Amino acid sequence: MERDKVAPKDKRFARLNCDERNNPALQPLQFGSFNKQQKRLLQACRIWLLIGLEIFRLNTFCNGKSIIETIPSGSDLVDFIVSVCQKYITETALFSVTGSISSATIGVYDQKQQVYVTHIEKTATELISCLGMITQQAGSPHVSAKIILADQQGNLTGGHLFSQTVVADAQITIQELIVAE
């Protein structure tokens, strides 16, 4: 789909400025040869990202520090994010991670039991996307993130990120957000 063919009357873009109209994250998804499960997973992550963007529009934030780090092989992803944030981040931040994972602990929220049901992916996978937010709770960083992984056959799995997710090779970008006065 060409960007200039995005209908300007599309209600999703009514409040957006011109720069945001050209943001690929906000463009309609092109699914190509993905199966139904993969399409639903990608769409769910896109919706989660758009909801996060809308929440941040309710407050005015200024960009703080920008941090780019290589995550050491064998590190627990959540523990690494917490340690970086303890050093550099004072309040809130957004992050994204790309790379590969040796094993991952992923959860899906069970609405009836009101708990996360976790499972462990023990095979090496490509980390397609990991987007999250860091907030301060009781004086220490709290990580909340969604993760999408692909195996060698191209099958996708994803959910809420938990500790015991071991990095094979990954990089993280963290953007601190400071509430504007």
Task: Give the HSE-up count for residue 159: Cα atoms under 13 Å, Cβ half-sphere.
Answer: 17
17 assigned to some structural domain: no
The total of structural domains in the chain comes to: 1
52 assigned to some structural domain: no
What does the pLDDT look like over 91-120, one tens digit per residue?
A: 889 999 999 999 999 999 888 999 989 999
CATH of the domain at 132: 3.30.1330.80
Nearest one of 173, 91, 76 to 129, comparing CA atoms? 173
Phi and psi, residue 44, nearest 5°: -65, -40
Q: In Å, how far are 30, 69, 98, 127 from 171, measured between CA atoms?
A: 26, 6, 6, 10
Give the other-Cβ count within 10 Å of 134's Cβ.
Answer: 22
What does the pLDDT look like over 150-170, one tens digit per residue?
A: 998 888 899 999 999 999 999
Q: Which residues pair with 104 in a beta bridge?
A: 121
